[in-house]
Chain A
Amino acid sequence: MENDETKGAEVTIRLGAAAGDGIQSAGEMMMKVLARSGLYISTYNGNQSLIRGGHVWFHIHAGTRKVYSLGYGIDFLVPLTQLAFDQHFESVNTGGAVIYDPSIVKPHDLQQGVRGIPVPLGEIALKYDKRPIMKNTVALGALTSNLGVKFEVLADAITDQFGRKNPGVAESNIKAAREGYDLVKNLGAQSFELKYDYSCTKPVLTADYAFALGAVNAGCRFYAAYPMSPASPIVHWMASHAKQLGLTVFLGEDEISVINATIGASYAGARAMCGTSGGGFALMQEAVGEAAMTETPVVVVDVMRAGPSTGLPTKTSQGDLNMMLGISQDDFPRIILAPRDSADSFYTAGRAFNLAERYQVPAIILLDFAIGDGGYSTVEGLDPSFTVDRGKVVSVPSPGAVSGGWFRRFALTDDNISPRSFPGTPDLMFVAKTDEHDEWGHDLSDVNSGLKEFLPLRVKMHEKRMKKLESIKKELRLPEIFGPTGADITIVTWGSSANPAREAVQRLRMQGVSVNSLEFTDLYPLNESEIKRILQVPGKKVALEANYTGQFETLLKRETGIIMDAHIRKYDGEPIYPSEVEKGVLSLRKEVHAVV
């Protein structure tokens, strides 16, 4: 049930234009304006795989209380092209408004209760500079005015955006924005005022940026990548901070080079990480097995986009989980983690490094476009306190650790983890082998392979690697409940699908629906017994994920035998909207009632 209080507590904004109109930077400026007015933010970047033309949009959901996803509908639509209007006007909420330039956009078929606010954006822009791109700053002026935010906040955001490069550009943009602001103010069109707190600015970042920051905070000083959307923000952040923080950023010739260099760096003693998207990860797969076989820790980030193959490079999906479960030849241990949002991403980076190093295994991180590239969310009170745990690293030989001049690098131990040394350390030489090997790193693949006295050793070495999973699973995070425990319906999410579920849960509960959600972030290895216990809920279980086959639902069934009662799956490339979750849950609820 909506009431004035909840309605006034949040706002949704969508800016739409052609690529090259500067809509992403306009969106990010608007996002900053609202964040610096004390609001919580969640955004989505609806871009296309092109540099000029087409249709791109930027969506902002802001609220006085924590927001998680994209909210419901659009309160303010700012279409800079007719196509942008045509694509989005039907989603404008009753009581909402469309700010448009009447010389460009014909606002046809506006629904009742939706106001059109004509502003001559282009004409105003050209008064201050011969750059029509400035029409988007005029629009931001009009929008800011409509929201009742004081102009200085916008002026500051514009200065931040343009000031350093060119103070003249910032100045003309501010003047143009001011005219848009005053024009709307004089119209008396201000319609929507939230409670602002200009003293309370909360950082707003994407999960890509947060992961990069979290990794460096955890001791990572080596990052390798090949450019690929939507993982590129990670390498951009790393490169732009390389000097300040002493980072080594390696842009390899392909993803095969990227992951092999990362493994080499880790072998040499660095905390090393690489990032890509699904297509790039497909090229890396053989080397992930190499990391596992040589017991070289490595952190690999896959920022998922819609596939298969090139797929939809700028659209979202959670479709790479099966790939991660099935990487490379034969069996080897791996860790798969899927943070929900930016704050989660920051902390997950540190956990991933400690887990990868302590267990000497590859750790794979699944982010996705929805939260990774353009999916900004507010973080509050991020705590950089962190303890680096490198596990069993040795620098002097212990008794029995060296034989025949070689270090017993792959020693069979009670906990299946062997001591590790780094090149440069005297007397602890070893060869990291992708061939099966004995405890000293000698091949079991050539003169000894198949010999009956060596078969048990192959078994032991294989088991030693695989049994690490048993210990890892006890350390991974169990799913968390959002909403009250005990509900008629539980939405089961993983990674970013937690966010739309949260907003749907909030709204459904206001409608009196008994629903909560259960959020998985640590996907593999699963702690079967604990998860079985947690999922013994009395209500119906609905799996929510952005892929066709229900990859996580299938994993859960495979590992725990748990079968979902229903599922909501989305694979059109667009983010999951809370309204879609709401609809799915309500249809299930009817079914529940029918059964009862």
Chain B
Amino acid sequence: MRLSDLKEFESDTRPDWCPGCGDFGVLAALKDALVKSGKKPHEVAVVSGIGCSSNLPGYIRTYGFHGLHGRPVPVAVGIKNANPSLTVIATAGDGDEYGIGFNHVVHAARRNDDIKLIVMNNEIYGLTTGQLSPTSKLGQKTKTSPDGSIIYPLQPLPTILGAGGTFIARTFSGDPKHMSWVIQEAIKHRGFALIDAISPCVTWYNIYDEVKKLFYRIEDRGYKITDQQAAFNAMNDPQGIPTGIFYRTEEKQSFQEKLAEINGGKAPAESVQTLDRNVALQLIQEFA
């Protein structure tokens, strides 16, 4: 099989992100990961919500769905259910996935839907010009918290771990090789993958230097994926910013594998046809 090259994933549309935006790194890492995973552009669907980062479909040449704020996960789940042969990746921001649409993330994790969610986390609402996000820090000053935030930030990774997540990782747009590796592993994973991609907003809340100073790869420190307790401990570092794959299990079937046991592997996208006449008549007769 011939590998695609990066050019096949290049779009004619230039990103409208601010110069220096962390999302450029995520876009580059995603393209790299898709090439290295042997995917062709038409085999991939990238689904997003609303916000700066959610403009990503269209900057990468694959099938894309630029949907509603907070709803990329259910759209992605619907695509995967209808055609399980597609690689389905949801890309969105912390407002989308940890705020308005977090409910869907929790349930995709517990179902173990075979979709990969990349959350470009910048701890701020960027496109709406800088309001508190669910991951904004306590004391963080924004347009809606001029005296500093009085709300504790959400801890998405331990929460999704508790929800039954089977692949939970964090990576940093300033570490593109690591990010590409994490995405490749996520694509290989059997089921739902949450990738928290730290992607600083250079305009409204630039934490680039801080993250650069504090982040480290857990793999470099000899971390080995074992159980949920170890993952929980590794995620929780008040002094630094750990990145890497904290937890992964291939033991759980994906939701789509389980669906196939019920529907006999008949993909809805491949089964648009009328019923056999005798079957239809017999179904009607069940009511007699």
Once the chains bind, are B263 and A268 in contact (CB under 8 Å)?
no
B107 within 8 A of A: yes
Q: A428 near B: Cβ within 8 Å? A: yes
Q: Is A386 an interface residue (CB 8 A)?
A: yes
Task: Judge whether B78 and A272 touch: CB under 8 Å.
Answer: yes
Q: Taking the nearest CB of chain A, how far is it from the CB of B106, in angstroms? A: 8
Task: Say yes or no: is A430 at the interface (Cβ < 8 Å to chain B).
Answer: yes
* Shortest CB distance A56–B (Å): 22
Q: Mark A402-432, 1 if CB is under 8 A from B, else 0.
A: 0011100000000000000011111111111
Residues A203 and B273 in contact, CB atoms below 8 Å apart? no
A267 at the interface (CB under 8 A from B): yes
Q: Which of A106-114, A212-220, A333-341, A461-469 contacts B (4 or more CB under 8 A)?
A: A212-220
In contact, B58 and A253 (Cβ under 8 angstroms): no
Residues of A within 8 A of B274 (CB): 217-219, 384, 386-388
Which chain B residues numbered 238 to 280 have a C-beta less than 8 Å away from chain A? 259, 262-264, 266-275, 277, 279-280
Digitize A374-404: 1 where CB-to-B-CB distance is under 8 Å, 0 elsewhere.
0000010010111110100000000000001
In contact, A253 and B103 (Cβ under 8 angstroms): yes
The interface residues of chain A lying within 8 Å CB-to-CB of B279 are 245
A265 with B268: in contact, given A245-B275, A430-B63, A434-B66 (CB under 8 Å)?
yes
**What chain B residues lie within 8 Å of A388 (beta carbons)?**
272-274
| Majority SS at the chain A contact face | loop
Measured between alpha carbons, how far is A272 from B198 in the docked complex, in Å?
Answer: 36
The one of A217, A247, A265, A290 in contact with B79, judged by C-beta atoms closer than 8 angstroms, is A265
- Which of B64, B83, B281, B284 has a CB less than 8 Å from the CB of A269? B83
User: Is there contact, CB below 8 Å, between B288 and A423?
Assistant: no
> Are B284's CB and A424's CB within 8 A?
no
B64 touches A263 (CB 8 A): no
Q: Are B103 and A268 in contact (CB under 8 A)?
A: no
Q: Is the CB of B74 within 8 A of A443?
A: no
Query: Nearest-CB distance from A425 to chain B (Å)?
Result: 6
Q: Check A243–B263 contact: CB distance below 8 A.
A: yes
Report which of A36, A252, A272 forms a contact with B82, defined as CB distance below 8 A.
A272
CB contacts (< 8 Å) of B74 on chain A: these are: 252, 256-258, 260-261, 264
Q: For the complex, what is the distance from the CA of A441 to the CA of B259, rounded to whole Å?
A: 32
Q: Which A residues are CB-close (under 8 A) to B107? A: 252-253, 257
- By beta carbon, the residue of chain A nearest B70 is A256
A269 touches B269 (CB 8 A): yes
Q: Is A477 an interface residue (CB 8 A)?
A: no
Give bound CA distance, A443 to B66, whole Å. 10
Q: Which of B16, B45, B68 contacts A260 (CB 8 A)?
A: B68
Chain B residue at minimal CB-CB distance from A423: B63
Complex CA distance for A175 and B41, rounded to whole angstroms: 68
The interface bits of chain A over 545-566 (1 if a CB of B lies within 8 angstroms of the residue's CB, else 0) are 0000000000000000000000
Give the distance to chain A from B238, nearest Cβ to Cβ, in Å.
32
From A246, A252, A262, A405, give the contact of B264 (CB < 8 A): A246
Surface stretch bound by A, among B6-14, B130-138, B165-173: B6-14
Other than the given A257-B103, A270-B83, 16 more pairs (CB < 8 A) read A205-B284, A221-B271, A221-B272, A222-B81, A222-B82, A250-B81, A256-B71, A264-B47, A264-B76, A265-B268, A266-B82, A268-B78, A268-B269, A269-B270, A384-B274, A431-B64
Q: 8 A-B residue contacts at CB 8 Å? A: A205-B284, A257-B71, A260-B74, A268-B45, A294-B65, A384-B275, A422-B83, A431-B66
Which of A's residues lie within 8 Å of B, judged by CB? 35-36, 201-205, 209, 213, 216-219, 221-222, 224, 241-243, 245-250, 252-254, 256-258, 260-272, 286-287, 290, 294, 379, 382, 384-388, 390, 404-406, 422-435, 441-443, 446-447
6 closest cross-chain pairs (CB), A and B: A264-B78, A431-B64, A261-B78, A269-B269, A246-B266, A404-B12
